[in-house]
Structure 1
Amino acid sequence: MNKIDPSLYLSNQNISREPKPTIDKDGFLKILMTQLQNQDPTAPMNENEMVQQMATLTSLEQMMNMSKSIELLVNSQVESPVIQYSHLIGKDVTYLSSGEDSETSREETGKVIAVSQRDGIAILELDNKQKVEVTKVSKVSLN
């Protein structure tokens, strides 16, 4: 005969619950539906209360959508190489110019006038008409 593990008894289970500090759309809908199911049929919720709760639900949903949109915007800006390196505009950068071989390469300096990106890499556009990948920069300085 199989024995039941005593640790599985309900009385031995941890029943503490942590309340959420905020309520989401689904939680609000559950509360609203429970309220509608348990209301007194002889004295139903008046129309004004229902309209207020639906307006609250709509506002909650709009705030959640706006919050998600702002989060996406912030994340896209943080990951953007253009945003990450835009602080270099107006500064002098020293970089290794690419020659035909390593012997003809030399250090050059130019002032950053714009930042763009190609294949996820920041490209610094300089006042000497050069375009330099940020990975080739060896020094950044003020004028």
Structure 2
Amino acid sequence: MTTINNTAAQTASTAAAATTKSSAAGKLTQDYDSFLKLLTTQMQNQDPLSPTDSNEFTNQLVQFSQVEQQINQNEKLEKLLTMQSNNQTQASLGFIGLDVEATGSAFSYDGSPVKMSYTLPEASTSTTIQIKNEKGVVVRTMDGSRSTSRQELTWDGRKSDGSAAPAGDYSMSVVAPNASAKLMTATTTTFGRVSGIESGNGVTTLLMGNTPIKMENVLSARPPAAAAA
């Protein structure tokens, strides 16, 4: 099922922020106009023999101008950030329904086999692939390649005892010591279908099941095999 989360909340938040900024700008404009009227009135009615020192008024006028410029700059920056966020959201919508590969080790299991890959930085003396549930408990171990070439594998959803694992959130871990018996960090990727997007705090992420995927972590995207055929 396609889902788009937090859109209404984000819209309300954006509207509230815009209202606050508009109120601040309006209040500043009113104060600025009042100050100019006060300055003009005082200058018109000052005693010619004892003129009012205009330095203080000038300093305040400069300060008002600086604050006004700062608010205007902030409003322009906010508009640019909002446009960027909207563009990212629009781009993300195009990924819904596509099969993607993304860097990372977390994935959602829904009963269908899950494809993933790993690449070692150097040859290992042994390689073990661990599948962990959301609590970090290892539910399946598999032997892996000791080579530095990219390796792809598929988890069939079975535990080590042969029973079926329940649907949920899982992750892959690669245990591979090098010749010095030091555990290495493998580069891992997962494959899945984008079911929706999440948007909040100016950041848009793709959803593969319950697993959030950052846009910059997507390596490839293509239509499902059946649709492509």
**TM-score, reference length from structure 1:** 0.39
Q: Which structure has more strand as a fraction of its residues?
A: 2
